[in-house]
């Protein structure tokens, strides 16, 4: 956890998602914004959520920044979807979270008809590690199912009730 200007501890959360899932229009970012509000209310304090669209600056060493942010987080929230499992960078973030023993909280955003596993065909060692980690994120960690709420307004009662339920568990 990091400290704010008053030396109070802020919970650090890393928001991991596939960019393709944010395109309609910014639904994953809108979900993150509501999550931040609800989590702050549940904790009774501000929290620090890292999301690449606001956390990476022009010219920064983006890969190193992502790794540092994941490993320094208290909680790693991953937004699971077929696009997530097809993204090497998303699964690499999962690997970093596991290596650093960060608490992992998956949210199932879209049904995955091909299963909860990456099928990277590269024959190198990294592909094997990524494929294994993609399977482990669902085998080991219970996810919260958001699939039926995905197309609802992110400030709807149903979405806020869902967020209340998961945020109370991390408080």
pLDDT at 57 over 60: yes
Assess if residue 51 is contained within a domain: yes
Contacts of 82 (CB under 8 A, 6+ apart): 110, 112, 113, 114
In this structure, is residue 39 part of a structural domain?
Answer: yes
The domain spanning residue 39 has which CATH number? Answer: 3.40.50.10140
* Any domain includes 41: yes
Give the mean pLDDT of the chain: 90
User: Does residue 43 lie in a domain region?
Assistant: yes
* Domain around 100: 2-166
Q: What would the pLDDT profile of 129-159 be if each residue is shown by its tens digit?
A: 887 888 888 889 999 999 999 999 999 999 9
Does the residue 147 lie in any domain? yes
Residue 4 has pLDDT above 60, yes or no: no
Reported as a single tens digit per residue, the pLDDT across 15-48 is 999 999 998 777 999 999 999 999 999 999 999 9
**pTM of model > 0.85:** yes
Classify residue 171: in a domain, yes or no: no
Q: What 3 state SS string does the chain have?
A: CEECCCCCEEEEEEEECCHHHHCCCCHHHHHHHHHHHHHHHHHCCCEEEECHHHHCCCCCCHHHHHHHHHHHCCEEEEEECHHHHCCHHHHHHHHHHHHCCCEEEEEECCCCCCCCCCCCCCCCHHHHHHHHHHHHHHHHCCCEECHHHCCCCCCCHHHHHHHHHHHHHHC
Does residue 102 belong to any structural domain of this protein? yes
Question: In this structure, is residue 92 part of a structural domain?
Answer: yes
The answer to whether residue 61 scores a pLDDT higher than 70 is yes
Q: Give me the pLDDT at residue 139, please.
A: 87
pLDDT of residue 120: 79
Work out how many domains the chain is built from and give that number: 1
């Amino acid at each position: 956890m990091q400290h704010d200007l008053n030396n109070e501890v802020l919970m650090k959360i890393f928001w991991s998602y596939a960019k393709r899932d944010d395109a309609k229009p910014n639904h994953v970012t809108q979900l993150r914004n509501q999550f931040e509000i609800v989590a702050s209310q549940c904790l009774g304090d501000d929290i620090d959520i890292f999301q690449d669209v606001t956390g990476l600056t022009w010219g920064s060493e983006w890969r190193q920044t992502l790794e540092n942010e994941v490993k320094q987080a208290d909680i790693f929230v991953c937004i699971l979807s077929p696009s997530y499992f097809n993204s090497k960078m998303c699964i690499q973030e999962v690997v970093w979270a596991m290596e650093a023993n960060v608490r992992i909280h998956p949210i199932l955003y879209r049904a995955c008809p091909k299963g909860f596993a990456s099928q990277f065909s590269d024959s190198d060692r990294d592909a094997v590690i990524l494929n294994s980690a993609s399977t482990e994120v669902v085998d080991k960690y219970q996810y919260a199912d958001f699939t039926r709420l995905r197309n609802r307004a992110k400030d709807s009662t149903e979405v806020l009730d869902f967020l209340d339920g998961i945020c109370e568990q991390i408080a």
